[in-house]
């Protein structure tokens, strides 16, 4: 599905993928912060 999105709507697909990447990074940082407390 991701490859099809890159072919037909590459800009939107990259925007959504970047958003999900940032959210996943924030989740891992939050878990690390919670474990450090």
Dump pLDDT digits (tens) for 1-37: 788 888 889 999 999 999 999 999 999 999 999 999 9
pLDDT (0 to 100) of residue 21: 97
pLDDT (0 to 100) of residue 6: 85
Q: Rounded to whole angstroms, how far apart are CA atoms 31 and 25? A: 10
Q: Report CA-CA distances (Å) from 29 to 17, 18, 20, 26, 35.
A: 18, 16, 14, 5, 10
pLDDT (0 to 100) of residue 36: 97
Q: How far apart are the first and last CA of the chain?
A: 39
pLDDT (0 to 100) of residue 5: 86
């Amino acid at each position: 599905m991701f490859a099809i999105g890159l072919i037909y709507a590459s800009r939107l697909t990259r925007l959504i993928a970047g958003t999900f990447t940032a959210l996943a990074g924030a989740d891992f940082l939050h878990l690390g912060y919670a474990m450090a407390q």
